[in-house]
Structure formats: C-alpha cells, structure tokens
Amino acid sequence: MKRILFLCTGNYYRSRFAEALFNHLAQQSGLKARAASRGLRVKPDGVTNVGPISRHALEGLAARATAPPPEEYPRQVTEGDLRKADVIIALKEAEHRPLMESQFPAHAPQVRYWHVHDLDAAPPADALAELETLVRELAAHIERKP
C-alpha cells in the first residue's frame, strides 16, 4: 500500500481537503494507496482554527460528494510521519520549503512542492479547484504504476 502524505501549514484546510479527496478517489478506483495529512506549523492552542477542519474544506468536499476526513484536530508532522510516507507533497512551495528545510532538512529533497495558495492569496473556490486537479493527476499517475 503506497502512503501519500499531504503537508500544509496548519493541517486545517488544504491538506485535509487533499487527504479526503485522494482517499475518496483511491477507494473509487481501487488504488492501493492511502493519504494522510499533517501540518508544518500547527498551533497547539488551536486559537486560529475553529473546530477540527476548515469550513471551506468541508464545503469543497461536500460539493464533490466526498466525505470529510476522520474527525480529528490538526496534527503536527513528525519525523516518523515523513519516514513512513512513500510520497510527500507540500501544498505551497514558497510557504513550505523553508519550513521543511528548517525542521526536517534530511527530508526536504524528497518533497514534491505544489503551488496552491492559502486563503490569504486565493478564494477557496479557486484554490480547491486547483487542488482537485492536482490530486486527480496524482491519483491517475499512481493508478498507472504497477
């Protein structure tokens, strides 16, 4: 079973959407792959986030008839998470490469960096549509592999 790890800053919006969508697509098409998600800078006090997952992610998943990921609060990535992953994808290079290089320099070269903006730079409809395209491409690529 191939293990995909999606990374974003807070593990609240983009990475959670990508995780749920990928797992939905994998289940539908019989892929031998499973995704998880983590954050590179999860705030332990939870002050900046309301609930376990962004309402934008939930709305985007609902619009795509996709169940949300398990009801758990954002989780900080660990060395163990990175070691277990076969594919690591950070969702915005400009934001996440410096965090990877400072926190996990040995793993930074293994990461695929996408360019999906957070709420400060793109409306959810645009960011989630771009993320959906990238996740579907990833699933299709994995599907073709033996």
CA–CA dist 100, 13 (Å, integer): 19
In one letter, which amino acid is 134?
L
Which contiguous run of DSSP H or E holds residue 17?
helix 14-29
What pLDDT shows up at residue 48?
Answer: 65
Can you give the pLDDT of all 146 residues of the chain as single tens digits? 899 999 999 999 999 999 999 999 999 988 999 999 999 998 765 456 677 899 999 999 999 999 888 878 899 999 999 999 999 999 999 999 999 999 999 999 999 999 999 888 888 899 999 999 999 999 998 865 55
State the virtual CA torsion across 136, 34, 48, 100 in degrees, nearest 10: -90
Give residue 37's identity as a one-letter amino acid code.
S
Q: Which two tokens stand for residue 95?
A: 């934001």
Q: Which residues neighbour 142 within 8 Å (Cβ) at sequence distance 6 or greater?
A: 2, 4, 26, 31, 33, 87
Distance CA 132, CA 110 (A): 22
Domain residue spans of the chain: 2-144
CATH class of residue range 2-144: alpha beta
DSSP string for residues in 25-39: HHHHHT-SEEEEEEE
